[in-house]
Structure formats: structure tokens, C-alpha cells
Amino acid sequence: MNLQRTLAVVAAVVVLGAVAVAALAPGAVADRSDEPVRSSYLTLQEPRVAAGNVGGETVELSLDLRLDHRGGPARNVTIEVQAIDVRGSGRRR
């Protein structure tokens, strides 16, 4: 056999072997899906609130919020912050 024929036979054997492994081995070809491999896990780490200028009935607040992310990708993460006046909530003593 000449060199080109030997290389062609070797290439054909490699291709057929790869196709056979992909067809016969479970999980050899990954299933393409939109679901993440691992679910996403988010936690709020050490939220800090500091008061700034106080004037009249208003106060400026400075917020420092940090997220810790573990796992797969997270979509549309929203952090909502709400200020509550506990003294003006109707509970007077």
C-alpha cells in the first residue's frame, strides 16, 4: 500500500470510531437545552445603610449592597429597597 491509501484508511477508521462512540456511549453527545447545569443561588452579603444629611422630614441614605452568586447563570436579578418609618406606623405609646 502506498502512503496516501494508508492515511485514508487510518482517517476513515478514526472517523468511524468517533461516530460509533458518539452513538453508543450514553451522554457522549451533550443534550442542548436552555436549562442551566446548576441552579443559580444568590445571597445578599453585609448590607450597609448610612444616614447622610438630615433636613426637615427627609434624610439622605447611602446604601452599599453586595451580591454573592453561586451556581449557574442568573437572569433578571432585581434588588428592591424599601424605607419604612416605624415611628409613623400608627403605633404610639
- Structural domains counted in the chain: 2
Same domain, 14 and 43: no
Q: Based on the domain organization, do 45 and 19 belong to the same domain? A: no
pTM for this one? 0.40
C-alpha distances in Å from residue 11, one per residue of 14, 18, 33, 91: 5, 11, 32, 83
Per the structure, the complete domain to which residue 53 belongs is given by 39-83
Task: Report pLDDT digits (tens) over 57-91.
Answer: 788 888 898 989 988 888 888 888 887 777 765 54
91 domain-assigned: no
- d(C-alpha 8, C-alpha 20), whole Å: 18
Q: Which pLDDT tens digit goes with each residue over 15-25?
A: 999 888 888 87
